[in-house]
Structure 1
């Protein structure tokens, strides 16, 4: 979008928050870059330049605006909507792959050469993987500076900087403030941060209807790993450098996120996973605008616009839970998963509320005795096959995985049918066009809305909803009166 100069100017002049994260506005006279909705008086169009990423603006010599804090805007919805190389690379960069494995590691995960990855990112985003990772490190550093009491040296290494000098230089260059000045500016009038805990505001594009998000997470919560308590969803997190716990609570203009991490280097990845879980980078105007063109679906959209697709913080975990939940009730699926957690999960040294364990990894379950699973023999075999495919890497479901390849591998696993494969594609892979025409809840809702009720006819009709069929499923599911479709009660 950044190449459409006139459209960008109109968005800036109208302070349209819908375009925050889509592009960044740089002002030649001040050498500052902003989000489109910046509250300051818009500059003259002749003084505006537009960039597709904060990293590109930084590379061009602009610093972040202190008023609108463009680095804190919602991420571009493109990276969760697309399955191409650039989108996969951006999801991996957001998860911290470049900081942990370098650009060669990123390229290896994508299955391309380093040169190909750099060329495509530079062409579309105006910055290569190192610059994009540097912009993320600056954002992580700002969050830690403003929300924690950690010493600056600890923050530098937690944010991924190789040295304190580089940390200081980057913060000054990006924010035009030293780290100490940034902390003093943010700390005025705020109580001191609780040790070991970070409280963040996760932005999103309005509107957002949170009922189906938190209702489903609460209804399917696995004891020991997840719980709904005190108006928030809580869960444990398995992260590259350690583990943590998070609570997520909906607020009118943001999601309140409270994180506790054993290693602060996991902050950027933890935030990325929480945003992905709640689909916070979605573009509801685009989604709802298309779905409203169907007169049968429009009343459901108008009743509660801005529904998101609940996803996951751990794709492998979700795949195993989806297989465990085949052909059984939600309560039975929770019980089966809870037994696996108790027997094979990693206990937390310090439990938090009802959070006692990390969900077991596929490697930990690889030696699982099928006889220990209280389910029919055929489904036991499916669980074992899925565990082994995940543990061996034959089935890759990570944020940088190839959606088409993952779908094909799921289809090859005996015992995994189209319903399970599409559910995994929707919530683990994050495919916004995943569709469940055979789902009983979808078929019932379709009949109530006078949509075709048979799977084949509904699939043909739903072609007009592409590429947002996963969102149409949320609207259909939420039309039923069940706990997973509404905000949970404590």
Structure 2
């Protein structure tokens, strides 16, 4: 990733928060790297280097600033929009694939040899997959050190380190402090046993209301719930179950996590960020959409509208199939029946998440409450996901996943597009045949026939998913 020195320096000099996570500022005289918005005195030009990732700065011998915490910056919006191997690799690394399956597993998922994958990532990002995963492990470990009472040895293995010595050496190298010293400096706060409290950063503005309205209208018992401005949901993670409560605040989303296995912290955080689209660049999106007179007033009134995404690709696909040609309320009724048959109901207020594909595939006909053809579609979908023939997670090849979805009987362009937008994070999906989108278009004075609306929407590329959300809100 080629960085323009002058542009980066201007952003750092003005402490522009919009660039946090997009690049990192490293200072040779202090051997410290920061986020662009760090409040420290701007270093002289001749003492500065810029890196596309924290891992690249660490690899060059710089340690993280303890004032601005660059590892806690929002992720680069580029990883959500890019469809190439590097973008897919970054999404998979963020979900903890290297910690669970190693570089071998990452390379296999992407269809490259380890050597070639390392060469591609190093050439573009300044660090290979191991270094990128190591930077994420260090961040996970720091969060656990500062927010839990777990023993340091337990934290080392929970964060993915191979040994306590490796953990100690890495933390000392990146933060210039041993884990025990980091723990000494943590704030004295009230901690509930078994919970991890953290703040999720985002690029302002963020229109929280639109996210909560969308998610709240689709809550399912045992899966998720909305209580005032706090959204809670269950998560099915690689090592077990978890639940999270997400509450918006100024500049942050406060997250309270309950994990059955602390090794799942990194994927849990990645999925929460993905669900609320926290790594988006609202200035770029709103700048494009706001230039259209038809959307300008809506963008001005509600800046920072995001695409409500997903924590489970299979769940989103099932919701999409059930929601074909029925209202949101009707789809919810059908899904509640399915969940009861699968045994997914709240127990003492605990949320367990959506049932696995293997469970749904084996449910009896009485569990579905829908026409036989649609029931067969869900069973076929569940079997394809359970067998590994269909990957609907963010690291998937979007074009390939969409093509395989369309091969399944009963799944058409609307369903495949909805899944691509919410489950796989495609920022440029547009559902021109969607009734609510056409109603929203009519309310804004835009063409409301599917063909004419699709043609008009071409001017909204590459942010048509965000335009679709605004049409739904206008409806």
Mapped contact 2:234–2:353 kept (Cα < 8 A):
yes
Corresponding residue number in structure 2 for 1:361: 356
* Partner Cα separation in structure 2 for residue 370 and residue 460 of structure 1: 41
Match of 1:10 in 2: 10
Structure 1 runs of 4+ off > 6 angstroms? none
Taking the TM superposition and a 5 Å limit, the aligned residue runs for 1:377-456 are 377-456=372-451
Give the Cα–Cα distance (whole angstroms) in 1 for the partners of residues 78 and 95 of structure 2.
16
Question: TM-score, normalising length from structure 1?
Answer: 0.94
C-alpha root-mean-square deviation of aligned residues, in Å?
1.4
Displacement after TM superposition at 1:269 (Å):
0.4
Map 1:110-259 onto structure 2 (within 5 A). Answer: 110-187=110-187, 190-259=188-257
CA shift for structure 1 position 140: 0.2
Asked whether the 8 Å contact 2:229–2:247 carries over to 1, the reply is yes
Q: For residues 108 and 345 of structure 1, do their structure 2 counterparts lie closer, same or farther at Cα, with a shift above 3 Å needed? A: farther
Partners of 1:48 and 1:148 in 2: how far apart? 35
Shift of the 230–444 alpha-carbon distance from structure 1 to 2, 3 Å rule, reads: closer
**Alpha-carbon distance between aligned partners in 2 of 1:121 and 1:31, rounded to the nearest angstrom:** 24
Q: Does the 8 Å contact 2:197/2:256 carry over to 1?
A: yes
Report the CA distance between 1:238 and its aligned residue: 0.4
Deviation of 1:153 (Å): 1.0
One of 329, 332, 336 as aligned partner of 1:331: 329
Paired residue secondary structure (1:429): coil
Listed as ranges, the matches of 1:298-377 within 5 Å are: 298-345=296-343, 351=347, 353=349, 355-377=350-372
Cα pair distance change 1:169/1:352, threshold 3 Å: farther
Q: 1:12-68 CA distances to partner (integer Å, 9 max, x unpaired)? A: 110001000010000010000000000011000110000010000001000001111
Contact 2:223 2:344 in 1 (8 A): no
Structure 1 match to 2:291: 293
Please state whether the residue corresponding to 2:127 is helix, strand or coil: coil
Further displaced range: 236-245 or 324-333: 324-333
For residues 366 and 218 of structure 1, the distance between their equivalents in structure 2, rounded to whole angstroms, comes to: 27
Q: Could you give the per-residue CA deviations for residues 122-178 of structure 1, whole angstroms, max 9, x where no partner exists? A: 111100000000000000001111111111111111111111111111111101111
Q: Distance in 1 between matches of 2:440 and 2:315?
A: 28
Between the aligned partners of 2:201 and 2:213, the Cα distance in structure 1 is 20
Aligned-residue offset at 1:347:
6.7
State the SS of the aligned residue for 1:307: coil
- Partner-residue secondary structure (3-state), 1:247: strand
Matches of 1:198 and 1:371, distance apart in 2: 40
* 3-state SS of 1:233 partner: strand
SS of alignment partner, residue 390 of structure 2: coil
- Any unmatched runs of 5+ in structure 2? none
Is the 1:233–1:248 Cα contact (8 Å) retained in structure 2? yes
Seen in structure 2, the aligned counterparts of structure 1 residues 356 and 70 have a Cα distance that, compared at 3 Å, is closer
Distance (Å, rounded) in 2 between the aligned partners of 1:206 and 1:126:
28
SS of the residue corresponding to residue 189 of structure 2 reads coil
How far apart, CA to CA, are the structure 1 residues paired with 2:322 and 2:65?
Answer: 48
- Specify the SS of the correspondent of 1:200: strand
User: 2: distance between equivalents of 1:24 and 1:250?
Assistant: 26
Inter-partner Cα distance in structure 2 for 1:477 and 1:435: 12
Shift of 1:373: 1.9
Do 2:212 and 2:229's aligned partners in 1 also have CA atoms closer than 8 Å? no
Deviation at residue 371 of structure 1 after TM alignment? 4.6
Aligned-partner Cα distance in 2 for 1:112–1:18: 34
2:270 match: 272
Q: Write the distance in 2 (CA, Å) between the matches of 1:278 and 1:457.
A: 31
Q: Tell whether the 8 Å contact from 1:378 to 1:415 is kept in structure 2 after alignment.
A: yes
Distance 1:273 1:151 in 2: 26
Verify the 8 A CA contact 1:347 1:358 in the aligned structure 2: no
The answer on 1:475 being equivalent to 2:470 is: yes
**Cα shift at 1:385:** 1.8
Q: Is the 8 A contact 1:300 1:476 kept in 2?
A: no
* 1:304 positional shift: 0.5
In the alignment, the residues of structure 2 paired with residue 250 and residue 433 of structure 1 have an alpha-carbon distance, to the nearest angstrom, of 26
**Bigger relative contact order (CA 8 A; separation at least 6):** 1
SS of 1:463's partner is helix
Taking the aligned partners of 1:150 and 1:138, their CA distance within structure 2 comes to: 16
Structure-2-length-normalised TM-score: 0.97
Q: Distance in 2 between matches of 1:162 and 1:346?
A: 36
- Superposed CA deviations along residues 253-276 of structure 1, whole A, max 9, x for unmatched, are 110100000000000000000000
Aligned length: 475
The Cα shift of 1:370 comes to 3.0
Matches of 2:417 and 2:400, distance apart in 1? 13
